Structure 1
Amino acid sequence: MTLDDAPAGTSTVDVQDHPALTVLALRSVGVTPDPYLVAELAALPIPDAVRAIERVGAPPDPPSVLRHTVGPHGSTLLLRRVTASLLDAGVLAPDTAAALADAGVRLPTLVEFLTRAAASAPTDEAAALWDAAVAAGADPRRAAVPRARAALTAGDLDTATQHADVVLTDPSSSDDDLRSAARVAATVALHRGAPSHAAAVYRWLGAARVGSDVAHAVVSLLAVGDRDTAASFVAAAGTGLPTSATARDTLVAEGMLVSVSETPTAALSSVLRACALTGPSTEDHPASVAGLLAVHLGDPRTTREVLSEAATPRARLLGAWAAMLLGDTDAAEARVRETDPDGLDRRDSLWWSGLRAAVARRRGDAGALAATIADAHRLLVEVEPDLYTVLPIGELWLAATRLGDAGRIRHAVETTSSLLASLGEPPLWATAWHWYGVQAAILASAPADLVPHARVLGALAAHSPHAAAVAAAGRCWLRVLQGEPDADEVRACTRSLERFGHAWEAARLASDAALRVDDTRTATALLQTAREITSAAAVPDTASSTGELTGREAEVAQHLVLGLTYREIGARMYISAKTVEHHVARIRRRLGAGSRSQLLSMLRAAGYGQQEERDRP
């Protein structure tokens, strides 16, 4: 028996043909029927299962055929039986389970299966599986936290916020759920360039409930300069369970708090130790934080090394920034070109714009600078400047100044300046900002505007070698602009600037000084200095293709020859065992070693490890 109102052009199935109905039910949820599966589900011999599959064929719209054959209620009952059979047989796949839930199947066993599948699913599949679990009957309130996390990971910020708000506004939510929802809400706020909201979320949550999310809370609070609240969170962090995750997060939180103090180098050390306690695939790996701190300390080489642990858009942009500071402007420009700005959140879009401006400035491309500033105008209005946007806003400041359009970025510059002043001009963060101020004054041919920035840098010099180097360069540049260049001082300052990743500025200082000295021989020598700096910067700071190792690789090789494990090497170098493994793989490729034993032999022949072996008693 079939229904007369079956869709035109589709095959029909006899309502009494139970094996065929089983086949049709499978097709309706996207499962291609297999004779063995049909035989098991319908309790048939294999030949009968094959004939049932042949009778159904491949209708163009199986769900519609099923509904017209047995009706909506009958379709649901049949799919429930198929679900139970698939679960009993242990052959239910997550995508089939989701299709069954979408088709209207409501079963506790299906909810349990989907919940387990969603919890262990890849990041690009978890959100859909959690949605299916709710469709199958899971409590939306209990599923709100994992749904919020999954949506955030998938980049669906609106949905993540929606689910997080359900938890935050529910009086019955547990502290654990509130902490997780606060993490999602704050992360979304940071992605959207609204750090004030992220900080407000954590102030509401409080130090007593922040638990293992202390690092994220401290990062959010310091973004807007709330050092006192951040300090209270760090003080409460020591009460957690002594797990490696707790130790890692506490190190990050303590390091970030130290970063706004007068001892900036200790901040990087703390976060690097946290990196050594973190697996390579860990969400929110502290490598990005360490890389940012290193750039601000004038150590782009460390930034490049630690960012091998992270693969976020921000980490890739920051890695390109470090390459640019090391002289590889081509690598930075390639990153700008290959990055789709439409695929970035607002915060990362600001970093992309800053990198784009930095490359254009170094290329002397006025057209690209103008296009960058025009494109960044709305972004500068939408994104709230914070402690971690000093570099991109600084580059956009210089770009706008170069174009005589500094007014367009005045609000962002004033906000950043006020934030750093409220924190007492912390050396790690303020050094880069006031160095941008010095350069902006130079570009605007306004020596008087340079003085306040040089004065702050002079005060910071006692606490930071990086600040001392740029402070001296600022004073030197001021004298150059005033027509009183000292060639020896210029050469000394250019060497210091090079050491802290400012080779391009060092070359400009030497060139400017050469234009203002009266002695032809001195001018020629300064121009030669500028050419030498530019030539050295044009070669990326990597090993040659002839087998020479980079400094970091040489350090790994030294430990490797001594018989240390990857974990032991990582502990000594403050990097993870996985990063050590990556270094070893690069060393093998560089040397052409076919095996580990051959690699060790080649390293010993090159002299690695010999000194330490001689020093052993």
Structure 2
Amino acid sequence: MTHTAIRHQPLLDPRTRRLLDSVGSAPHTPPRLGVVAPGGHGKTTVLRALADACRQADVGVLDPRWGLPDATDDVVLLVDDAHQLGDAQLRELRQRVERGRQGVVVACRPWPRPAALAELLEALDLATPLLTLGPLSHDQTAELLGRALDATPSPATVDHVHAQTGGVPRFVRWMAEALADQRRRGDRETTAEPPAGAVARFRHDLDLLDPDVRRLLLAMEAGVGLRMDLLGALLGRAADEVGEVMAAARATGLLAADGTLLPLSRSAVRSLLPAEQRVGVRQRLAELQLARGESVLPLARSLLGSGVGGESVAAAFEAAAGEALPAEPALSAELFAAAAAAGRPVSALAAGWALAAALAGDLDPALRLADQVIGARDSPDRANAACVAAAALAHRGQLGRSAELYRWARTGPSAAFAAVGLIGTGQLAAAEPLLAGNPSDEPPTLLAGAASLTAHGVHESVTGCWTAALSTLVRASSLLEPAGRAVPLPDSPAALAALVAVHCGELDVADSVLARALASGMGGALMATRHRLLQAWILMVRGRTALAAEHLAQIRKDVGSLEPRDGLFAVALDVGLARRGSDLPALRETWAHAREAVLRHPVDLFTFLPLGELAVAAARLGDQDRVVPHLREATALARRLGDPPLWVTPLHWAGLHAALVADQQDVAEEHAAALAANGHHNRFCAVLAHAAECWLAVSSGTIDPTRTAAAARGLRDAGLCWDGARLAGQAAIRTSDRKAMVGLLECARLLQGRPGGSRAGASTGGSAPHRSGAGRVPGGQLSEREREVASLVLSGLTYKQVADRLFISAKTVEHHMARIRHRLGCANRGELLTQLRHLLQRADSPS
């Protein structure tokens, strides 16, 4: 490899420079000096500079490493690497120093320090204090880099090189030359990793290392640090002997001042020393730390994929898997797999492995492993495995089977979780005996307390006061936040609290409890997806459809394949967003996935929200038969629970809209009557009951503008902004009263978050006459309403979809587009769209 040579004057500290100057100014005074520094710190550079100074002063120099010449007073002896000389040579040099007639300059590393070398350095120190060389400063590093690059280096490059090398002159030079080579080849410079060319130049130094020093450096690269007891066990040496090995390692120059590996040295040790040596040292360290009961996770992680095996390594992998479980369940599952590959029986690992896989969201292996443990009659982990399988089955939509497993487990919080599952499947009488709490011999842990509160909160939601139910579930979620990360949950108290909050219109509470659950990692990756989907659901309910769609897309990107329960909520979100955007093609496209999702997930109490959304979509597409059996099942389940108003009210609200869309007035009236019967339960039920009456009136053409606007604002106040805007908009386009239409349209626009104004309202009526100058802006620009219509048409919506979005008629949209085309003088639709695109882009661009 070709390297750019740096041939400028050496970078010397002030004291060394004065010594050189003294040689030139007093050539007849023989220099006697000892130069001590670790490898790479410039000892040879100093000797070369002294040799040049002597020659310029007509003083001869000799390198006596291959034998000392006869004593000649007019020749200076320059001895490099004196630590490699034998005792006889060192004693001879000391004698010449003591005679004082001949110049002797000795350079050596601080280790090894045999007695003869120590005596020589002591004699030199009496003549001239020893010269110890240190690392380059930041400014000196920048100067050396500038010489190599023939340009001023960037501050980031200087910082990177100085941090990587610790300022060791040789390493700085290697980095500088490697960077110069990169620049000459046109390679992109990066501060992420040191250049490969600089790392490769360590090979010779590493090959010369003593075996113990090599093992020490490998241990440091593995992250052991200065654990002298652990290093002693690794090297088979006593603590004081480890100090000698450490001193030898420091003398190489590979260590920083604090005894740690320099970053550049670490890269060299990692990439240049044989892989089998690295693995061997790490394996031995893991065995030692495991025997001492210390953390083995960092070392075990580094051994993944190395192929090492054996009982001790398998035990280390298993212990590391347990360490990783709370924070990194996916890594924990990988470590369990490594333990099995290293020779540990799968039966001994299955319970922990199943738990790790479940928390990581990988339910297939979790269920397979848990089932193996449950079937092993002599296994002490059967109950724990049953809890893992029960949690996984709940996510798969098998809430009834999940409850059976929890009842069988009879451990910890299993009774409470079983009660939640039984209530969710309509088995209230079977659930109530399980609400007494944990068995007397079970400790009252945070998990047990949270599970008990969750069960009582769900029970309260179907039998009692909604405020008590919501409060209990929120407290359960708060209780579990510190300890819920490594727990496989069938459903989290946060998710159930959010569902109850959505069912009673407390969307702010739902948002808050979900955000806290996500921040605490409650339930691990298994529950994170559910929490995020419920957040997206709340955004959709509030009418923030674009943001809800972004959240949903990000969830799918992050997670990939969704479990049946999450898949049901996700596809219901797709359907709901398409319906709210009046996007019939998207609704049809999504409906095929929705049908499959409904088939994969049995009806339970906690799926009423997506089921209601799918019922409205089915009516919109004329495919009600697909969901009728599921709606009947939901009705039967609710009846078994006593038709709890909190849970059935949103289902009746969805049923009302599905009936109105399908033009089933009698069915709509039944749902409206059910909503009215539950209107006393809470404010949210009362709002929906009032709105339902208004919808029936709107559908029949009997519209009271004041009452309808009040109902629409009530929906908005309950968090249902889109529903409120749609009620007002549909009433507006169905009334024949011009004044009422304008007022209701204004209300709809405000509820939807669009700016109001009489001018916008004045141009919305389908039958209103057009005056040639009305709403025009000089210069051929568009009015506010025209811009709104044009923007939606350009986005690809049909006139009908634009009309639904703006609460106007399709005829009005057609009227707007015809007027725009006339004003812009366009000959055809293609020309019109081109001009509109240009006009809107110019208007939106910054001035």
- Give TM-score scaled by structure 2 length: 0.53
SS at 1:270's partner residue? helix
For residue 514 of structure 1, what is the aligned residue in structure 2?
732
**Out of 291, 300, 307, which is 1:95 matched to?**
300
1:143-542, aligned counterparts within 5 Å? 143-174=349-380, 177-205=381-409, 209-237=410-438, 239=440, 241-279=443-481, 282-283=484-485, 284=489, 286-311=493-518, 312-340=528-556, 342-535=560-753
SS at 1:339's partner residue? helix
Distance 1:277 1:91 in 2: 29
Distance 1:23 1:217 in 2: 58
Q: Does the Cα contact within 8 Å between 2:222 and 2:299 map onto a contact in 1?
A: no
Give the partner amino acid of 2:484: T
Task: Measure how far apart 1:433 and its partner are.
Answer: 0.6
Q: Does the Cα contact within 8 Å between 2:234 and 2:284 map onto a contact in 1?
A: no
1:104 aligned onto 2:309 = yes
SS at 1:535's partner residue? coil
SS at 1:211's partner residue? coil
CA distances 1:58-77 after superposition (whole Å, capped 9, x unpaired): 899967x99xxxxxxxx99x
Distance 1:306 1:407 in 2: 37
Task: Measure how far apart 1:464 and its partner are.
Answer: 3.0
Once superposed, what is the RMSD of the aligned Cα atoms? 4.1
Distance 1:362 1:340 in 2: 21
Distance 2:212 2:301 in 1: 17
Task: Measure how far apart 1:369 and its partner are.
Answer: 1.2
Assess, with a 3 A threshold, how the Cα gap between structure 1 residues 179 and 57 changes in structure 2: closer, same or farther: closer
Identity rate of aligned residues, in percent? 33
Which one has a larger percent helix, Structure 1 or Structure 2?
1
Task: Measure how far apart 1:477 and its partner are.
Answer: 1.5
- Please identify, of 508-517 and 81-90, the stretch whose mean Cα deviation from structure 2 is larger: 81-90
Task: Measure how far apart 1:381 and its partner are.
Answer: 1.6
Distance 1:537 1:502 in 2: 18
Task: Measure how far apart 1:22 and its partner are.
Answer: 13
Task: Identify unmatched segments of 5+ residues in structure 1.
Answer: 1-18, 51-55, 67-74, 539-617
**Out of 312, 319, 326, which is 1:116 matched to?**
319
Task: Measure how far apart 1:280 and its partner are.
Answer: 5.1
Task: Measure how far apart 1:535 and its partner are.
Answer: 2.4
CA distances 1:206-252 after superposition (whole Å, capped 9, x unpaired): xxx14323443233222222222221211244855444443322211
Distance 2:481 2:739 in 1: 57
Q: Does the Cα contact within 8 Å between 1:321 and 1:332 map onto a contact in 2?
A: yes
Q: Does the Cα contact within 8 Å between 1:186 and 1:197 map onto a contact in 2?
A: yes
Give the partner amino acid of 1:414: R
Q: Does the Cα contact within 8 Å between 1:251 and 1:271 map onto a contact in 2?
A: yes
Q: Does the Cα contact within 8 Å between 1:185 and 1:198 map onto a contact in 2?
A: yes
CA distances 1:389-411 after superposition (whole Å, capped 9, x unpaired): 11122212212221222233333
Q: Does the Cα contact within 8 Å between 2:399 and 2:604 map onto a contact in 1?
A: yes
Give the partner amino acid of 2:539: A
Distance 1:537 1:392 in 2: 31
Distance 1:21 1:155 in 2: 45
Give the partner amino acid of 1:227: L
Distance 2:447 2:289 in 1: 39
SS at 1:103's partner residue? coil
CA distances 1:163-198 after superposition (whole Å, capped 9, x unpaired): 211222232344xx3432222111211222222321
Distance 2:477 2:289 in 1: 44
Task: Measure how far apart 1:426 and its partner are.
Answer: 1.2
For the pair shown, which has the larger CA radius of gyration, 1 or 2? 2
SS at 2:311's partner residue? coil
Assess, with a 3 A threshold, how the Cα gap between structure 1 residues 439 and 287 changes in structure 2: closer, same or farther: same
For residue 168 of structure 2, what is the aligned residue in structure 1?
none
Q: Does the Cα contact within 8 Å between 2:406 and 2:414 map onto a contact in 1?
A: no
Distance 1:202 1:448 in 2: 43
Q: Does the Cα contact within 8 Å between 1:477 and 1:509 map onto a contact in 2?
A: yes
CA distances 1:332-362 after superposition (whole Å, capped 9, x unpaired): 1211232327332221111111112222211
Q: Does the Cα contact within 8 Å between 1:101 and 1:133 map onto a contact in 2?
A: no
How many pairs are equivalent?
Answer: 501
Assess, with a 3 A threshold, how the Cα gap between structure 1 residues 448 and 87 changes in structure 2: closer, same or farther: closer
Distance 1:62 1:476 in 2: 76
Distance 1:270 1:406 in 2: 37
Higher relative contact order, structure no. (Cα contacts within 8 Å, ≥ 6 residues apart): 1
Q: Does the Cα contact within 8 Å between 2:351 and 2:385 map onto a contact in 1?
A: yes
Q: Does the Cα contact within 8 Å between 1:262 and 1:427 map onto a contact in 2?
A: no
Task: Identify unmatched segments of 5+ residues in structure 2.
Answer: 1-209, 238-243, 253-268, 519-527, 757-847
Assess, with a 3 A threshold, how the Cα gap between structure 1 residues 427 and 87 changes in structure 2: closer, same or farther: closer
1:563-578, aligned counterparts within 5 Å? none
Distance 1:21 1:39 in 2: 12
Assess, with a 3 A threshold, how the Cα gap between structure 1 residues 485 and 88 changes in structure 2: closer, same or farther: closer
Distance 1:39 1:81 in 2: 9
Distance 2:457 2:270 in 1: 65
Task: Measure how far apart 1:276 and its partner are.
Answer: 3.0
Distance 2:717 2:657 in 1: 18
Distance 1:193 1:333 in 2: 24
Q: Does the Cα contact within 8 Å between 2:514 and 2:535 map onto a contact in 1?
A: yes
CA distances 1:480-524 after superposition (whole Å, capped 9, x unpaired): 222322333323322322222222222222233334444332233
